[in-house]
Every structure is written in C-alpha cells, then in structure tokens.
Structure 1
Amino acid sequence: MVVRLKEVIGALEVAYPTDLAESWDAVGLVCGDPESVVQRVLFCVDPVEATVDEAVDFGAQLVVSHHPLLLRGVHGVPADDPKGRIVHRLIRSGIGLYCAHTNADSAVQGVSDALAEAIGLTVTGPLVPHAEGARTGLGRVGELSETEPFHEFVRRVAHNLPTTAWGVRGAGDPDRPIRTVAVCGGAGDSYLATAAAAGVDAYVTADLRHHPAGEHLARAAVPGAEVPALVDVAHWASEWPWCQQAADTVAAALPDTVEVLVSTRRTDPWTVHAGAASDPGRALA
C-alpha cells in the first residue's frame, strides 16, 4: 500500500489538531510535496543539522519535529543561513518537514501527557484547560501511585528522562511528601502561580529562571500559604518523550505501511556541566 505525505499529515492532525495551536505559533508542513510517497518517518524535538543527518541515514521521506524551524517571519531561506541550509538540504534529500508545536502541547495525549507518563503519573486533567471542564489545554496534573519524599521524586524524574548536561534540579524541602504533581513540557515558569493554585505537591517543567523560582518559593513563608516544590529539567528532555508518542500515533493510524524512528540525537544545546552541591567551587560564608 502506497502512503502519501498528506495521509501522514492527516493522522498527525487528528491527534494534534492545528486549531489548538497558539496564535503566534507556526505549525504544519514547512516543506515537502503532500502527494509524495512516504515510507519512513523520523520524529524529533528539534529540526537541526543533527536530526536531518539522522533522517538521511534512516532513508526518511519526512521529519516530524516538535519545535518549528521557521517560527518568526522570514524573507528568504538562503543556503548560507543556518535555517536556510536545513531547508535546502531537506528538499535536495527528498525529505519533507512537518512541525507540531503548541497544538501538540494542548492536545489530549500531547506533550505533557507523554512527560507525565514517563515519570509515572496518572493524569487527572490539564493544568491550564482551554475551557472549564475541557480535556485540552497546556500542562497536566496527575498523581503518583504512592507518596514519596521530594528527594526521591527528583531522582525519579532524572531516572526516567534522557540524561543532559543541564541535569535535573529540585527546589524545596528534600523530605517533603510528594503525591500530586503538575507538569508542563517545555518552558513553564509562566504557570508557577497556576500550579500553586492547583494545590499540587510538586511542579515539573523546564527553563525555570532564578527570580520567578525564588519568588514562588518565598510565598511559602506567608502564614497558611503552601506552594509546590519545583523540579527543573532540560527543555529538550521534557519534550523528548512526545516523540515516541507521536511515532506510535502515526504507526497505529497507518499500520504496516510506514516505518517510524524516534531520534536519539541529543539536541539539547548545553554540553558541559561543572560543579555540584558536594563540590561548589569557591566557598562562601
């Protein structure tokens, strides 16, 4: 059976409807002929040189990425520009590129569902629903099967996500009991107050900044106030579990017709980590 690119797109857009994308986002087919035949599809977080290399080696006719290649307006894609070079190489190699970004974030069984599943949570609903009672929306709230101390929970997150130089960081009482958890794949510090309002014990996301995290934790000093402990992971690592979910979605929609591969190239930009709590460098009083 011949499968065309437009059929793969159809399966993706059933799972991740484009009308769920944020207004500022750029999702959909970036390059490629909808009528072209697709036999192999590579799934990745970032459409970069390393994942294009992997797609070429795999013999793929389509790359499905989470992050857009061309998020902001462009006036050209010359081959001597980093992004233009990727477009030229994809086209020369006969490979299409499709991006599912914030629509995959908000869809039922989307990016945060995959993150929640990876760390062993049973999802109970979205953190930021699109409407009251809606199943779609950003982030997820879930529960562990058993309560565990925060320091063990941080280790759980680190064990179940791919290793990065960024690592996994926890902020909060190491012995605090953790049972209910909010997660948000990608940068989620804009939802710190939402996670606190949800009454969860911990919040797992990426790219947490110093001041928002510090101000969030300081609210715990207010009598009667309680805020979730924080777990900060690498942006790429928080979204990588979605790649397998998306690959499984396409494989199930087009059984025995399309071969899928989840990228194993670590495209997190950070490559070196130095220092730890046991070796903090210059001692301070």
Structure 2
Amino acid sequence: MTDVDPRPDTPEDAPAAGPAPTLAEVLEAMERLWPRGLAESWDAVGPVAGRPGAEVRHILWAVDPVQAVVEEAVEVGADLLVTHHPLLLRGVSSVAAVGHAGAAKGALLHTLIEHGVALVAAHTNADSAVDGVSDAIARRLGLQDLRPLAPTEEGADTGIGRVGELADPVTLAEFARTVADTVPRTAAGVRAAGDPGQPVRRVAVCGGAGDSLFDAVRRADADVYLTSDLRHHPASEARETALLGDGRPALVDVAHWASESLWLEDGAAALAAELVRAGHRVRMSVSTQVTDPWDLHLPGPTS
C-alpha cells in the first residue's frame, strides 16, 4: 500500500482541513471529477455499499474489487474502497456468501458491510473524464497534445481513449520497450504486432479493453495503438487491414490491470485535492497488490 498526497496544483489558499467528510460528501467530490453522466450506458458506476452519513477518514484505491483487496481495506482501517472496476456490473438475484454462482461477490459484500467499509466504482466515467485512465498512460509515455480517441457527443475534451504525439519518433521496438518499462510487470507482459523498425510518433491509447475502437484509431491516423485484451480475430483483422496500406497502425497489447493501475495514484491525488478544497483532509492509499488474474507465463518449446 502506498500513501498519496493531494496533487501539487492544490491552491495554497484552500481551506484548512476540517472534520472528516461523509461518504455523501466524498461522492459529491467524485461527481465533480468523474461525472456519472460520462459513463457508458452499460456500465454500473457509483456507490455499491456504504451509508451516506458515515465518516470517511481513509480511502483505499484499487483496480479490482476482489477479496484480497477488501481484506486489505479492513486490515489498514479504510472507511472506503474506491475501485475502477464495478463489482456488480451484471444483475444478481442473491448476495448470499454461499450456494450460488455469485457467492464470491456475496462474500466480498458481507466482508465490506460487516467491517463498515464502503465501496464505490469509478469506471468508464473515469475513462472518459479529463485526466482519466488513458491520460495517465499517455502522459507517462511522454505523449503531448492529447485529445480523445472517441470523443463524447458534446465534442469537449472528454471521451474514451486518447491520441497524442511523441516529441521525437522512435521505432516500434523502442516504443514497445518503453511501454514494458512503464506499466507494472504481469505474467502476460507486453506484446507488439508490426514491423519492429517502423517509425512511431502518433500514438492512440485506450486503457482496458479497446478492440472496439479500431475505426477510431484509423481515423486518428495513429502509427500505433496501445490497449489491452486484444482478441485473436479483431487483432488479426486489424493487422490485415493495416497491411493493405502502409502497415499502420501497429499494435501493442498490455495486461488489462496493468494499463489501468497507472491511474490510481492520479485519481487518489485528484480526489484528495478536491476534498482539501472543500475543507477536508482524508488519507489516500493505493493498493500495491497485483490483481491481474494470471500467475504464470510459460514460453513455448525451447527446441
């Protein structure tokens, strides 16, 4: 677990820290940063557990609402767990802790409620918002002049994914190496498709699963597309389409958890600053647990 301070642009004249905020006040601050209206229609963002009037003194951040993270929240005395991924993305008919297919989620909810830990998800609203998930990746890679890959209907600076430019072109092999050095290590590692020597300057990025955005990537005229969870058929079709032209975009695929984990510190710092402005100071921590589901990566035969 790593503690996070408010981001450095917090005004010096922000009100002095007062009483701990309630969960309702934290939710109001999150709405200002990551409006629920930015979430995709299929998504399930916002509060999952917790009483609006409960005090929040310590917030733990993680990508996935899994049992190990919930137990960490209990162990460190967190009052609120903020996760990127929703716990209940699809409807359930029971939250019992045993006896049905969703028992693991039921057990997790029981642990939260029994220990007074609230749970809130900031998912595609945090993907689309300014300074969101894809911004976190893009800036760590040194991309400039960022704009949404798939803008919202309002045509503002919000939308899924980002497109930006490197200050100087690099080869695909060099870019993939930089990505591997930037994202957390996972069993899956980093995969790339394309000519290793082809130049890369314009980069399209989508944190999480992004194989539905190939048309937007082509419209952006990107040299490479960095995303996660690229399935065989969409990736194969994208490469075949690219090879009909100049071979662009190349593809770089990273683990889903790795691509989104980079945002946690940014999100925690932004929320801390927003609460400071409102006269509150809350301890913010980011879980260092790797919740990527894969444990081993075995290469093929050596001979």
TM-score, scaled to structure 2: 0.88
1:247 aligns with 268
Tell me the amino acid that sits aligned with residue 261 of structure 1: S
Quick one: which of 240, 262, 278 aligns to 1:218? 240
Change (3 A) 1:257 1:206: same
2:133 aligns with 111
Q: Would you say the 8 A contact 1:11–1:249 is kept in 2?
A: no
Q: Distance in 1 between matches of 2:290 and 2:234?
A: 28
Quick check: 1:143 aligned with 2:165? yes
Q: Distance in 2 between matches of 1:7 and 1:107?
A: 20
Higher relative contact order (CA 8 A, sep 6+): 2
**4+ aligned runs moved over 4 Å, structure 1:** none
Q: Show CA shifts across 1:160-186 (max 9, x none).
A: 110000100010110111111000011
1:205 aligns with 227
Secondary structure, counterpart of 2:213 in structure 1? helix
Quick one: which of 108, 112, 123 aligns to 1:101? 123
Q: Distance in 1 between matches of 2:178 and 2:269?
A: 24
Q: Distance in 2 between matches of 1:221 and 1:143?
A: 22
TM-score, scaled to structure 1: 0.94
Total equivalences in the alignment:
278
Q: Would you say the 8 A contact 1:41–1:60 is kept in 2?
A: yes
Secondary structure, counterpart of 1:196 in structure 2? helix
Q: Distance in 1 between matches of 2:291 and 2:145?
A: 28
Quick check: 1:50 aligned with 2:68? yes
Post-superposition offset of 1:112: 0.8
> Which segment drifts farther, 125-134 or 29-38?
125-134
2:39 aligns with 21
Tell me the amino acid that sits aligned with residue 170 of structure 1: A
Change (3 A) 1:37 1:237: same
Q: Would you say the 8 A contact 1:196–1:226 is kept in 2?
A: no
Q: Distance in 2 between matches of 1:84 and 1:132?
A: 38
2:257 aligns with 236
Secondary structure, counterpart of 2:185 in structure 1? coil
Quick one: which of 190, 209, 213 aligns to 1:187? 209
Q: Would you say the 8 A contact 2:149–2:163 is kept in 1?
A: yes
Q: Would you say the 8 A contact 2:194–2:247 is kept in 1?
A: no
Q: Would you say the 8 A contact 1:116–1:123 is kept in 2?
A: no
